[in-house]
Amino acid sequence: MSNYNAFDNFLKTFNKAADCLDLNENDRVKLSMPERQVQVYITVRMDDGSYKTFEGYRVQHNSFRGPYKGGLRYHQQADINEVRALAALMSIKCAVADIPYGGGKGGIKVDPTTLSEGELERLTRAYVDAIYPVIGPSVDIPAPDVNTNGKIMGWFCDEYSKLAHGFTPAVVTGKPLLIGGSKGREEATGLGVVIAAKTMLNNYGVELKGKRVAVQGNGNVGSVASKYFCKEGAVLVAASDVSGAVFNPNGLDGELLRKMAVERVLLSEYPPSIGTTFIAGKEGNAALITCETDVLVPAALENQIDKDNASDVKAKYIVEAANGPTTAEADEILADKGVIIVPDILANCGGVVVSYFEWVQNLDRYYLSEEEINDRLKRKMTDAVQKVYNTAKQFGVSLRLGAYVNAVKEIDESGKLLGR
């Protein structure tokens, strides 16, 4: 893994899409490389009076379709290569979702579990101070990502507002409701996964109702997806978290799984019932990947389906709720088996769609009900799925490459219309 280059991995798929579109070399460079990379060093006073310096980044990949949009992650392994790749993927994801953004991403190399809340707040505010000249509601709008949350976005908003001399909620999304967050945002990604799954299965003449579904990961995205899969009449045969996996061929309780996730109760505590079995630890998660199911939903970590287990996957459909859950080698094995994969850049784009709705509400100072948000999310997700399906069919490629082709084409055409 030490030789793995996330940006090179993005370029491989990008260039396949560019080949389909017959893009020339100048256009390939213009669309693939970031427009701006910012690297900052942030010195923070610690609680004991000492000072520590942290390395931070903000990469702005492409602005042809609008301001940059993308999360901010706090992780000890964050680096410029990872952030560059994630920014590029956000350009693709925003174009797939047909929202008027380009891609951006931010990161700070830090283990946030080693910081007190006060140290975390000072780090966040210092990062905002450092990148203030290159962000803003019409320039670059960050959001939560790995190890960041609504509280951190609140600090971010407040610090930017001080520097801008006025309350500016539209500078960041994923905020708490009371300071400009959007209703429906918490469940948006998981709900979007189910909408994408249902819509795509319909394209293949398959009804989601009655189909067996297995969801790996019972976090915010996975548990919400489980809840809505059950609401759609699917049979949830398996679910997992860090403690292991719970199985029942007759179906698990999606509402209970969501409740356990919210209350941070591990699935090892799932109530025993007729037909229910539990397999602990990594063995449970491995068993879920290869269990008897119609739809497999990896909603946990990256690289969960690889060359070692792809041949044993029994699902006909994979819906990628997590980012990068399928390796490139596994992708080829699954394609040879005829498995249909709804790619992450399509399946999990519900979060950025509702982030867009939050931004628009902040700009308008007019806020929508959860029902209105969910209705608009459904329309956006359904339209995105149809576009990707049609493009994949037109070019005779996978849904993943179809999503890239659709996105690259729209970004390229937007740039040409701007004269860039």
Measured CA to CA, the distance from residue 418 to residue 420 in angstroms comes to 6
How distant is the alpha carbon of residue 174 from its chain centre? 13
DSSP tag of 179? G
Residues 6 and 86 sit within 8 Å (Cβ to Cβ): yes
Residues 83 and 108 sit within 8 Å (Cβ to Cβ): no
Residues forming beta bridges with residue 62, ordered by sequence position: 103
Residues forming beta bridges with residue 144, ordered by sequence position: 72
Residue that has been written with the tokens 């109760």 in this structure: 265
Give the C-alpha distances (Å, rounded to integers) separating 301 from 158, 276, 321.
32, 25, 10
Q: Where are the alpha helices (DSSP H) in 325-369?
A: 328-337, 344-347, 350-364
Residues forming beta bridges with residue 142, ordered by sequence position: 70
Instruction: Give burial (CB, 10 Å; 0-12/13-18/19+) of 96.
Output: buried
Measured CA to CA, the distance from residue 367 to residue 164 in angstroms comes to 23
Give the C-alpha distances (Å, rounded to integers) separating 362 from 51, 163, 164, 374.
36, 18, 16, 18
Tokens linked to 414: 């937007």
Give the C-alpha distances (Å, rounded to integers) separating 84 from 65, 105, 141, 304, 385.
18, 7, 16, 22, 26
Residues 268 and 312 sit within 8 Å (Cβ to Cβ): no
Give Cβ neighbours of residue 117 (< 8 Å, ≥ 6 apart): none
Residues 220 and 261 sit within 8 Å (Cβ to Cβ): yes
Q: Which is nearest to 288 in space by CA: 326, 314, 317?
A: 314
Tokens linked to 409: 């084409």
Active-site residues: which are they? 105
Measured CA to CA, the distance from residue 53 to residue 73 in angstroms comes to 17
Q: Provide the total of helices (H) and of strands (E) in the chain, helices listed first.
A: 14, 12
